[in-house]
């Protein structure tokens, strides 16, 4: 009995540690951390599918923002563990049950290696696990951070097998407990693309919607999906091969789907063992280098580039490329790099991808001469355009150009007094009149204003050269001062923050998207460094007399307005645009770092952002109109995180 007590104390301490420092286990306690709980449970269910048991997973977001995830696998083991307690209970109450989940050689989907259940339990208001196994149904309940409500109980009989976990994140831990359907949907769709045949049914009981994700063509369909709004000039091509590594049991499995389109953007998304490698790594390097080598070899063979000419550059070849890389690598060959470990470091992955892609690509080009010629013609043009843009830029820099088109017509910029790159902010402001208010309202010491006239160029459908010649774009590039495209140099930026400030209406949303498209394509590192923001001007000002004083409030949404008590006693002012605010109001609500709210644009999910941007910016005006009409409240968009400053 003494032993048992000791173990149970240890266990309590284990979960207590998670509650004391949730950040250590799930990164943060904001919306991102909240969804981490969902990923943990989902990854466990997916692992069971990958082990070969069950093909279907159900996820339900309930009305109270609790989440239920179930699989049709073997059902968690429930018999007595060596500690004397049911294995199920051990899984949800100890942090040291990791390891025994994986026995396949390949480490499967990410996560906390088997301690996910306990971590989620520790951070939940309640958790219920139900196991269908051996013809019986077992259930156990936990509450308030993983405390046992009772023992594992047999609650019925069944013909099915599988595991169901229902949990509700603890509101005393998380700053928000609102489940984001779109975010979960993106993740679910990604998993369904990566694991052929896996069926995931996602239900949201808050607004009664259900969507099913299942792709029998895997990453091939992923590419088709990403290129939905682009104009591909060939079928999706699939490479699927193994590469043996000396002295290692399991080969590296390389699966790549790609397609070229008439778009100018390059989209490469990579995964290792079904986990996204957001920062790329050796597999992407191998892919790019093989592609560049194969195209150049082919182009020389058919005299599309002359003997004396330089090779085509990788960046030019990849214009219009959409590619998904999915590798399976055994644990012993896995290396990750970087602060967030999102970058693959394994040297063998580079060799494997490079060899497989080079051979496959050469054969592909020889068999598809028309496509090959088109890719090469396009990259020759891209190279010319890039060189022309560079010449124009250099000329503009040295002030030698006499060509009006090539001169940056800036001069509209109202600079800040300070030149301190660590504090200065650049506001990109819609329209001259709002620009005027912003100039008046700003803190001139550290805030610069650049008014933008009319619509910004749609850079999804423009070449780098065209973009460069566009006056607004050119002015932005010059103001930021860090060049653009492959020459972009974050350390040269003149500003600490670039803040997009538009009216809170449809046109404003459109301008935001156009600017996001531009930054995504030409200054991505600026976004990655967290330096791009969207200002949130309020929609309403309400005020009433209190004796001699005026009692005034700003409101950001219609919901806020409807929640005001005794609204009829207020005077309500609706701001149709930034220009309707006086400079003090603009400063207080939108520009003053102490009191404003701004959105930091993050690239949590590049594929999602990219998809959105192409959908919005591609040729399909209908889709764009629909999207904007349903998303006029742009600030609640999923891939952008709202940062409340001050207040």
Using CB under 6 A as the criterion, which residues of the chain lie in contact with ligand TSJ when the complex forms?
41, 44-45, 48, 69, 71, 73-74, 76-77, 91, 101, 116-117, 163, 165
If the CB atoms of residues 77 and 314 are measured against ligand TSJ, the closer one turns out to be: 77
> Rounded to the nearest 10 degrees, how much is the dihedral formed by the CA atoms of 120, 121, 127, 129?
90
**Structure tokens belonging to residue 180:** 């984001």
**Structure tokens belonging to residue 236:** 């999706």
Q: Considering the complex, what minimum distance in angstroms separates the CB of residue 103 from ligand TSJ?
A: 8
The vertex-271 CA angle with 162 and 328, nearest 5°, equals 70
Q: Considering the complex, what minimum distance in angstroms separates the CB of residue 77 from ligand TSJ?
A: 5
Backbone phi, then psi, for 416, in 5-degree steps? -85, 160
Q: Considering the complex, what minimum distance in angstroms separates the CB of residue 443 from ligand TSJ?
A: 50
Candidates 430, 460, 605, 639; catalytic one: 430
Q: What distance in Å separates the CA atoms of residue 221 and residue 214, rounded to the nearest whole number?
A: 10
Q: Does residue 559 carry a catalytic annotation?
A: no
For residue 136, the SS3 value is strand
CA neighbor of 438 nearest in space, from 598, 591, 644: 591
Half-sphere exposure of 350 (CA within 13 A, CB side): 13
**Structure tokens belonging to residue 295:** 């195209």
Q: What distance in Å separates the CA atoms of residue 572 and residue 510, rounded to the nearest whole number?
A: 27
Q: Considering the complex, what minimum distance in angstroms separates the CB of residue 144 from ligand TSJ?
A: 18
CA neighbor of 187 nearest in space, from 174, 177, 175, 202: 202
If the CB atoms of residues 69 and 536 are measured against ligand TSJ, the closer one turns out to be: 69
State how beta strands 267-272 and 321-328 pair.
parallel
If the CB atoms of residues 41 and 325 are measured against ligand TSJ, the closer one turns out to be: 41
If the CB atoms of residues 111 and 579 are measured against ligand TSJ, the closer one turns out to be: 111
- Is residue 600 within 8 Å of 643, Cβ to Cβ? yes
* Total residues belonging to the chain: 647
Q: Does residue 584 carry a catalytic annotation?
A: no
Tokens 């070449």 appear where? Answer: 463
If the CB atoms of residues 154 and 558 are measured against ligand TSJ, the closer one turns out to be: 154
Q: Considering the complex, what minimum distance in angstroms separates the CB of residue 49 from ligand TSJ?
A: 9
Q: Considering the complex, what minimum distance in angstroms separates the CB of residue 136 from ligand TSJ?
A: 14
If the CB atoms of residues 69 and 616 are measured against ligand TSJ, the closer one turns out to be: 69
> Rounded to the nearest 10 degrees, how much is the dihedral formed by the CA atoms of 312, 317, 319, 323?
-160
Q: Considering the complex, what minimum distance in angstroms separates the CB of residue 50 from ligand TSJ?
A: 11
If the CB atoms of residues 69 and 464 are measured against ligand TSJ, the closer one turns out to be: 69
**Structure tokens belonging to residue 394:** 């250099």
- Is residue 554 within 8 Å of 541, Cβ to Cβ? yes
Q: How many CB atoms lie within 10 A of CB 641?
A: 15
If the CB atoms of residues 122 and 555 are measured against ligand TSJ, the closer one turns out to be: 122
Candidates 262, 496, 507, 633; catalytic one: 507
Candidates 313, 505, 528, 560; catalytic one: 505
Q: Does residue 503 carry a catalytic annotation?
A: yes
- Is residue 214 within 8 Å of 197, Cβ to Cβ? yes
**Structure tokens belonging to residue 288:** 């790019």
Q: Considering the complex, what minimum distance in angstroms separates the CB of residue 189 from ligand TSJ?
A: 18
Q: Which H or E run includes 286?
A: helix 282-301
Q: Does residue 551 carry a catalytic annotation?
A: no
Candidates 503, 610, 635, 638; catalytic one: 503
Q: What distance in Å separates the CA atoms of residue 317 and residue 297, rounded to the nearest whole number?
A: 13
CA neighbor of 611 nearest in space, from 31, 181, 190: 190
If the CB atoms of residues 101 and 634 are measured against ligand TSJ, the closer one turns out to be: 101
- Is residue 200 within 8 Å of 188, Cβ to Cβ? yes
Q: Considering the complex, what minimum distance in angstroms separates the CB of residue 58 from ligand TSJ?
A: 9
Q: Please identify every residue annotated as catalytic.
A: 430, 503, 505, 507
């Amino acid at each position: 009995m003494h032993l048992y007590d000791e173990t149970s104390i240890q266990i309590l301490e284990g979960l207590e540690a998670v509650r004391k420092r949730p950040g250590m286990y799930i990164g943060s306690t904001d919306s991102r951390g909240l969804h981490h709980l969902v990923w943990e449970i989902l990854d466990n269910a997916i692992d069971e599918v990958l082990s070969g048991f069950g093909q279907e997973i159900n996820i339900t977001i309930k009305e109270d923002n609790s989440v239920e995830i179930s699989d049709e696998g073997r059902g968690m083991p429930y018999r007595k563990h060596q500690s004397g307690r049911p294995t199920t209970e051990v899984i949800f109450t100890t942090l040291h049950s990791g390891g025994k989940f994986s026995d396949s050689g390949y480490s499967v989907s990410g996560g906390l290696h088997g301690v996910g259940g306990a971590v989620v339990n520790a951070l939940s208001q309640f958790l219920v696990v139900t196991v269908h196994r051996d013809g019986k149904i077992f259930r156990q309940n936990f509450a308030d951070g993983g405390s046992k409500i009772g023992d594992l109980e047999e609650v019925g009989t069944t013909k099915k097998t599988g595991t169901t976990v229902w949990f509700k994140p603890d509101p005393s831990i998380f700053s928000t407990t609102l489940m984001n359907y779109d975010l979960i949907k993106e993740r679910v769709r990604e998993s369904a693309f990566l694991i052929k045949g896996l069926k995931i049914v996602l239900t949201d009981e808050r607004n009664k919607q259900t969507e099913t994700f299942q792709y029998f063509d895997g990453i091939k369909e992923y590419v088709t999906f990403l290129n939905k709004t682009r104009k591909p000039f060939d079928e999706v091509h699939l490479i699927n091969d193994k590469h043996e590594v000396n002295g290692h049991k399991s080969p590296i499995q390389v699966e790549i789907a790609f397609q070229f389109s008439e778009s100018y953007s390059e989209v490469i998304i990579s995964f290792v063992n079904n986990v996204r490698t957001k920062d790329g790594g050796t597999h992407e390097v191998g892919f790019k280098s093989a592609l560049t080598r194969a195209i150049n070899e082919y182009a020389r063979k058919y005299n599309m580039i002359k003997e004396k000419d330089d090779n085509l550059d990788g960046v030019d070849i990849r214009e219009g490329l959409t590619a998904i890389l999915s590798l399976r690598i055994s644990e012993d060959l896995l290396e990750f790099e970087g602060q967030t470990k999102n970058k693959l470091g394994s040297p063998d992955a580079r060799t494997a991808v490079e060899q497989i892609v080079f051979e496959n690509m050469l054969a592909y080009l020889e068999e598809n001469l028309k496509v090959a010629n088109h890719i090469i013609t396009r990259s020759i043009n891209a190279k010319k355009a890039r060189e022309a843009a560079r010449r124009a830029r250099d000329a503009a820099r040295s002030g030698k150009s006499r060509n009006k088109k090539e001169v940056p017509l800036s001069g509209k910029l109202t600079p800040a007094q300070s030149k301190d790159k660590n504090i200065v902010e650049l506001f990109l402001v819609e329209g001259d009149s709002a620009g005027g208010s912003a100039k008046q309202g700003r803190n001139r010491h550290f805030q610069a204003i650049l008014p933008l006239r009319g619509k910004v160029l749609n850079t999804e459908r423009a070449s780098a050269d065209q973009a460069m010649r566009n006056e607004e774009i050119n002015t932005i590039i010059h103001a930021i001062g860090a060049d653009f495209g492959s020459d972009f140099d974050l350390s040269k930026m003149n500003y600490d923050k670039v803040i997009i400030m538009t009216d809170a209406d449809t046109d404003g949303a459109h301008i935001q998207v156009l600017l996001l498209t531009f930054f995504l394509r030409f200054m991505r590192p600026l976004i990655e460094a967290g330096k791009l923001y969207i200002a949130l001007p309020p929609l309403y000002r309400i005020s009433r007399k209190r004796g001699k004083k005026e009692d005034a409030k700003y409101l950001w949404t219609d919901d806020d307005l409807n929640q005001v008590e005794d609204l009829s006693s207020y005077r309500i002012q609706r701001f149709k645009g930034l220009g309707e605010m006086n400079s003090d109001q603009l400063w207080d609500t939108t520009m003053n770092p102490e009191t404003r709210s701004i959105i930091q644009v993050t690239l949590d999910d590049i594929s999602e952002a990219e998809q959105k941007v192409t959908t919005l910016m591609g040729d399909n005006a209908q889709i764009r109109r629909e999207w904007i009409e349903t998303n006029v409240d742009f600030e609640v968009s999923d891939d952008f995180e709202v940062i409340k400053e001050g207040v």
